Amino acid sequence: MASTRTVLIVDDSSSDRGNIAGFLEDYYDIIDTGNTSEAYEILNSNPGKIVAVILDITSDGTYGEEMLRFMKKKENLSKIPVIMTADTESEETEINALSAGASDFLYKPYSPVIVKKRLDNIIKLNENASMANDLQKDHLTGVYSEEVFCQKAIGILEENPSTDYAIVYSDIENFGLIKDLFGENAGNNILVYMARVFKHFISKNELCGRLEAEHFVLFLKYDKETLDENLESVVKIINDFPVNMNIMLRFGVYKIEDRAMPIQAMFGRAILTVETIKGRYGQYVAYYDQEIWEKQMHEQEIINCMEDALREKQFIVYFQPKYDLGSERVAGAEALVRWQHPSKGFMNPAEFIPLFEKNGFITELDKYVWDTTCGYIETWIKNGYPVVPISVNVSRTDIYNPDFIEIMLGIIHKHNLEPENIHLEITETAYTDNPEQIIEVVKQLKLIGFVIEMDDFGSGYSSLNMLNELPIDILKLDMGFVQGDMGTNSNNILSFIIGLAKWMDYAVVAEGIETEEQIQILRNMDCNFVQGYYYAKPMPPDEFEAYMLRHNILDRIDEISAPGMSELKFKKSQGVMLIVDDLALNRKILSTSFSSYFKIVEKENGAQAFEYIKENYKDIDVIMLDLVMPVMDGFTLMRHIGSDKKYKNIPVIVTSQGGEKSVEKSFELGATDFVEKPYNLRIILHRVQNAVMASRRKEKDVEI
């Protein structure tokens, strides 16, 4: 069977072409011609298809050599291996052909075995070389890959011990926005254009590579004056790219001092350097210096001891009260982490929180804070102390963790708390990073019963869009709105945001409050809650506990999380709530919401549920039933329940996707109520309460 790989045979002798084709056609597709003009046309019209050329040299030695030289001058043809052929043996002819670029040489008459073997070897060698070359180069831009860049840089340093070199790292601050506005192709075109510009400034023993995304790295001879001039030219040329937006290009330069340092470590220093000028208008280049080195060493010290610090509980949770502005009573508090280092002393969170967010350790620290905070709340409840909801921070890394909800529920259950004891503070920047994911996660958290606060509102770029899409409860204003001089413009902005939040039925917390003037302005704007040094600073747990015992506390959490809704008078039952749903998360949401009121039993489908009902129907207070499940669906289970009178007093609440036919059919089959997903926790609490109470009333009436 012929291969998809094609071999071109060029020979003015039709019989010779036929001979070669005869014993190759079982292995390759064959194209043959007797003149060079047609051969050129075949090569140009079949790019990437022809894997080798068998070319006759003719008796005068010019026919084939001219074509060979032509191919080697053309970029698109130069990599195709050429096997030259001749009628008579001539060492001089063979040497000339090989010198001109031929891959091999064959003499007539041909040996089929030798021709096949030589051709296979040449093609395989060429394909391996092409593959190796592809691995060396970045597929999109054609510059070196990171691995090859590092290898070549090491070699150049070793061969040029007396020459100063530098690593230059480039970053485009607004590259993501460019791609969003103009599309992926436009972004790729910019990267290709940048690579060409960089290569223009590269000379012998200098390199250009691409690390990832929009980040290029250069290995250049170090002359600061020349480097500054060249980088300035690069910025101007790249900003000439035809896109209607300024490309904010930044460079971090590390002059190589320690040649034994791994090249990747040099990248790290250049990257660290470029971070120092991000967001600075007009500054596009920075050089690694002693100050940056000291900062890097300090950060490394923090990283080295962070795990021990967590294990040894050097991190302490502080609490800062929040006040209801109308009554001036304590309405809540925020949990804030502090680090009491055994040798460095008290460390400012600004020193370690950004670093932990960058290296991922923030996830472990957050879990520690959540668990510690819930532990304190559990103790306060057991001791009969006044308790207010505590806000804890949730980083964007936490939200992206697929186990986040399970982790949070586990901590809540561990300390016998309700979700409403904890408010979750999510920063606005988490929404701007990945709005779809955060919306989905917040919806699930709301179903479970957590109160969601949007922290640092006003610090991002999509605030109004976020308000429209994200199902939050409380808006927490960025400190910048309320600190400093609250002039007319600031007041107008603040008033607009508070008014908008109220119109959308959000409560508002203003943080960073320090003066009586700020309090009066916020009170006139009908702001709900305030937090700041004017009332109280963050304090350690024992201080906060004493503080709460001395101050007036809002009576119920409802006054914060759901104004206008009274607390349910739902007493704990000894009976069972049977939750039937094939999705574990749906079961978890309901079990968490109702575990304080019922003994919870979970089943994955109607068949399992019916077996349980037959054995335990006298213990069941209510069945929460999904409709769509494998093995036995909800409709079938309701038919089984309805067919036996002994099950008739068990209320069945269908919790499923809406649809008029589904609702109608559910009630026809005896459902007590239908709650459409996604549902409001407090509404479903009332629905369950009403259904259970009605069932109990019916049983009493029967007894009478």
How far apart, in whole angstroms, are the C-alpha atoms of residue 560 and residue 554?
A: 9
Say if residue 269's pLDDT is above 60. Answer: yes
User: Can you tell me the mean pLDDT for 155-164?
Assistant: 94
Determine the 3-state secondary structure of 333 from DSSP: strand
Neighbours of 239 (CB within 10 A): 13
Say if residue 456's pLDDT is above 90. Answer: no
Burial 88-102 (b: 16+ CB within 10 A, else e): eeeeebbebbeebbb
Say if residue 564's pLDDT is above 50. Answer: no
Say if residue 543's pLDDT is above 80. Answer: yes
Is the peptide bond between 109 and the residue preceding it cis, with omega within 30 degrees of 0? yes
The DSSP code sequence of 340-385 is EETTTEEE-HHHHHHHHHHHSTHHHHHHHHHHHHHHHHHHHHHTT-
* Burial class of residue 462 in the structure, from the number of CB atoms within 10 Å of its CB (0-12 exposed, 13-18 middle, 19+ buried): middle
Instruction: Give per-residue pLDDT as tens, 495-509.
Output: 778 877 777 778 899
Beta bridge partners of 571: none
Is the peptide bond between 678 and the residue preceding it cis, with omega within 30 degrees of 0? yes
Question: Is residue 663 very low, low, confident or very high in pLDDT (cuts 50, 70, 90)?
Answer: confident
Say if residue 549's pLDDT is above 80. Answer: yes
Q: What percent of the chain has pLDDT over 70?
A: 88
User: Can you tell me the mean pLDDT for 629-634?
Assistant: 89
Provide the sign of the torsion angle of the four alpha carbons 580, 581, 582, 583, taken in this order: negative
Instruction: Give per-residue pLDDT as tens, 390-424.
Output: 999 998 889 888 899 999 999 999 999 989 899 99
CB contact at 8 A, 428 and 454: yes
User: Can you tell me the mean pLDDT for 59-76?
Assistant: 74
Place of tokens 């949730």: 394
Say if residue 702's pLDDT is above 50. Answer: no
Range among 43-52, 342-351, 409-418 rated most confident? 409-418
In this prediction, residue 135 carries a pLDDT of 58
Half-sphere exposure of 125 (CA within 13 A, CB side): 12
Question: Is residue 379 very low, low, confident or very high in pLDDT (cuts 50, 70, 90)?
Answer: very high
Is 96 or 50 the better-scoring residue by pLDDT?
A: 50
Say if residue 448's pLDDT is above 90. Answer: no
Neighbours of 312 (CB within 10 A): 10
In this prediction, residue 576 carries a pLDDT of 92
469 to 396, 431, 451, 504, 529: CA distances (angstroms): 17, 10, 16, 11, 23
pTM, to two decimals = 0.54
Determine the 3-state secondary structure of 104 from DSSP: strand
How far apart, in whole angstroms, are the C-alpha atoms of residue 275 and residue 196?
A: 25
Instruction: Give per-residue pLDDT as tens, 77-132.
Output: 888 899 988 888 887 888 888 877 888 888 888 888 888 888 888 888 777 666 65
Say if residue 476's pLDDT is above 80. Answer: yes
Say if residue 51's pLDDT is above 50. Answer: yes
CB contact at 8 A, 65 and 96: yes
User: Can you tell me the mean pLDDT for 421-447?
Assistant: 80
CB contact at 8 A, 453 and 391: yes
Say if residue 704's pLDDT is above 70. Answer: no
Beta bridge partners of 477: 457, 510
In this prediction, residue 531 carries a pLDDT of 93
In this prediction, residue 184 carries a pLDDT of 85
Q: Percentage helix, strand, coil, to 5, in the chain?
A: 50, 20, 30
CB contact at 8 A, 632 and 606: yes
How far apart, in whole angstroms, are the C-alpha atoms of residue 376 and residue 517?
A: 34
Say if residue 454's pLDDT is above 80. Answer: yes
Question: Is residue 565 very low, low, confident or very high in pLDDT (cuts 50, 70, 90)?
Answer: very low
Range among 121-135, 275-289, 620-634 rated most confident? 620-634
How far apart, in whole angstroms, are the C-alpha atoms of residue 412 and residue 421?
A: 9
CB contact at 8 A, 418 and 389: no
Question: Which domains, ranges and CATH numbers included, belong to the chain?
Answer: 6-136 (3.40.50.2300), 146-288 (3.30.70.270), 301-558 (3.20.20.450), 576-703 (3.40.50.2300)
In this prediction, residue 566 carries a pLDDT of 36
Across all residues in the chain, what is the average pLDDT? 84
Say if residue 74's pLDDT is above 60. Answer: yes
How far apart, in whole angstroms, are the C-alpha atoms of residue 563 and residue 580?
A: 32
Neighbours of 521 (CB within 10 A): 18
User: Can you tell me the mean pLDDT for 578-588?
Assistant: 86
Burial 597-620 (b: 16+ CB within 10 A, else e): bbbbbbbbbbbbbbebbeeebeeb
CB contact at 8 A, 223 and 235: no
Q: What percent of the chain has pLDDT over 90?
A: 35
Range among 295-299, 529-533, 687-691 rated most confident? 529-533
Range among 296-305, 387-396, 441-450 rated most confident? 387-396
Query: Of the given ranges (279-288, 299-308, 485-494), which has the lowest mean pLDDT?
Result: 485-494
